[in-house]
Structure 1
């Protein structure tokens, strides 16, 4: 497996070899699979089960080239963030971990990660992926995948993509199905799935700085666009097109059964739709408020521990191996998420489903990776649910939510 990029490995390998010669120590680990302080000849990498097989080949190639061993430790992805924050300060965490980009602010504020040096290779990735993996002007991870929602369309019921939200409702009504469109809501709503509609009113959660990073002091969710979005949500609820009774499971099963031409969803629901015999197309989310409807992008990648004894080797493994087209393509093939590396994404785009989601993701916005985002969710969904259910004046409910978020952040 030849996965080197830009000739960076040679110099790095020399430095690594020199440091290992000085160290002259052997590998060691504790019962959790974490690297001990004495283990400076091995990179320990936390990875989930789905990605482990791909990294096994990349690790073997890296070891053959550099002489540095790579120990893969499988972890439950849902538990990695908490365990990484707890273990790194003790010196017993891994050298590298798989991570979601929106963990980054929490990692940086806890001092458990260090920047990576992408160098010239930064231009090889889709810009939204590098932005997502950056915090306060520094890049902290090598991205490997991008994931977002889009509009899934049953082409038999709706032959053309809707240009606007009203066009979608009209096409869905003309199809004569039970629902003109479907989006999962649930008892506490679903801000993630509703976000592209919200952004189409010009009401992102946070404003952004000149470099595209989020500004936690600029809570734009409560602006006039947010009030217009809240009013629109109430109207959709009153019209019966949105309901808190429409959970994710119900929404997708209704779509599979042909009860609507449209479902706002991610790539994870495409295989079951195709298995149900639906010819699907992936389209951009139509605007309800007149501005571009931008869903959140979730980026996954790998980050380096602030306590690693092998910073050079860790950086080389990520940039030259995880960041190679071979590995990014292999990770796409096992996970189904569009690759972050542009060359790998272009190759994967021969699949129209991947191309469709990727096109939407390229103009989407990263989920905020700042710690303040954690204060938003607890008020956001329940407020949307109350508005959809017409439990009060939508603008007043929205402004109370904004005030509650601001108070929680402060």
Structure 2
């Protein structure tokens, strides 16, 4: 390297601008994910060009204004097209991979050390800023979806209630059972619909105690209502109970009753109708609502675990990289510096493996964030070990030690 003038970071970014943009865009298109591969290459070149300009101002002038604006733009763009958080984080990490190859070729210590620290600091800011903004937007999408779903459920429930009311009126005119129970508690009159509802003939119904047509579990409540009505004249006019049918089954029934005069004595007259289907439908609706709420809870918990996982691995990587940069500063030769540079590259490799593992995960396994904490994160230790055993991750393009 001593045979030519050493470039500054500013000169590198200007000299290699087109090469960085083209390599970054093509690797996005070919390596990151099927979603990136489906995007037009021209679009990726435009976004990497805009991101490259933002990184230039951040790295050269410490001006993150353009980077903040680009993060907002790319977050909204990728959320709208269904990209996941790890996919876009890996896209940002690719810039580090592309730039480190060129920086390692063009710079020497001590300028190289400060440049690496600046690049890593800039990338840490970018990824953390993007992750926070992506999470907040994604949570808003989930909340909006939940609110829209709730409104839709309320609308459908109201429509169903209105439909049931119209159906109920129609059934009362045609198929509802009508009955009269005298003061002695015997059925004095019943129409055909009442007999059909219970599976008995008219002869089998008339003269029998009303208790014969009530399920044992509903009998105490029905008897109490009848006692109040016959003694005080005041009781519930409409109630739901389980009727007992001839075949031994119990079915939900709605009664609407009042005191009348029948055969010159006070009696209780009522209209009854079968509401078993309605009750079962309500039970199903409640079960579906509970399932939907559980799905929302699981989705939010998984998102939280994902953020804890990413924060854990990124903070670990950042801590190690910081330590290695300090070691590099103390190194006097390239040979002394080489292990630290390899450690920095290893952390970039591990970060890329974590993001890839999270992108591909289908069976979420969790582990405690710390032994003393109840906070969980997604366990990708096995995937990291397997990837390192296979030698996955970016190959080093840094020069060998002197």
With normalisation by structure 1, the TM-score equals 0.19
Identify the structure with the greater helix proportion.
Answer: 2
Determine which structure has more spread, i.e. the larger CA radius of gyration: 2
Relative contact order: is structure 1 or structure 2 higher (C-alpha 8 Å, sep ≥ 6)? 1
